[in-house]
Amino acid sequence: MLFVLGILCFAAFANGQTQCGGNLVQPSGDVYSPNYPNAYPAFLDCMWTIPARGGGVTVEFKDFSIEEPDTFLFFSQCNYDYVEIIVGDRSRGRYCGTDMPTAITTRGDDVHIRFVTDELINSTGFHFAYAVQHELAGGGPCGSHLEGNYGVVTSPG
């Protein structure tokens, strides 16, 4: 019995499944919402932090299914279950439904992924991959090489 329990624990960690939030200290990895790909639990408030460590952080969602947004007339808001992406101390927005957030790449700012759920309508959740680049291309604050279809470019200072 103990052997089977050990195998199940190893399989969960080998599959990349994580707990509800925490500091992601590995240079890259995959994060899954609790209970993924089954329905996530109610009443969650999870926060994953990806420290930039002086470099850059890339986050790309691979799967995304959260409770649909609250829609009134032409406005949709993620009021119930949502993922919020925070770069540094600024929110990049709340996301819900099945439209995946676009991939983001930061330069020098920590990334925080917050996942909040209420008591009703739980879906399968999400899976995202992240990577930390310890040394930025170009070696300084300017002149980096950017790759990808989306991102934010800011000037130093």
b/e 97-120 (16+ beta carbons within 10 angstroms → b): beebbeebbbbebbbbbbbbbeee
What CATH number belongs to 14-133? 2.60.120.290
Q: Which two tokens stand for residue 152?
A: 């934010």
Model confidence pTM above 0.95 = no
pLDDT score recorded for residue 11: 36
Q: Around 75, how many Cα atoms within 13 Å sit in the side-chain half-sphere? A: 3
pLDDT digit string (tens) for the chain, length 157 residues:
444 333 333 333 334 455 899 999 999 999 999 999 999 999 999 999 999 998 999 999 999 999 999 887 677 899 999 999 999 999 999 999 998 999 999 999 999 999 999 999 999 999 999 999 976 555 455 555 555 555 566 665 5
Length of the chain: 157
Q: Which two tokens stand for residue 104?
A: 């983001």
pLDDT score recorded for residue 6: 38
pLDDT score recorded for residue 134: 77
pLDDT score recorded for residue 124: 97
Domain extent listing, the chain: 14-133
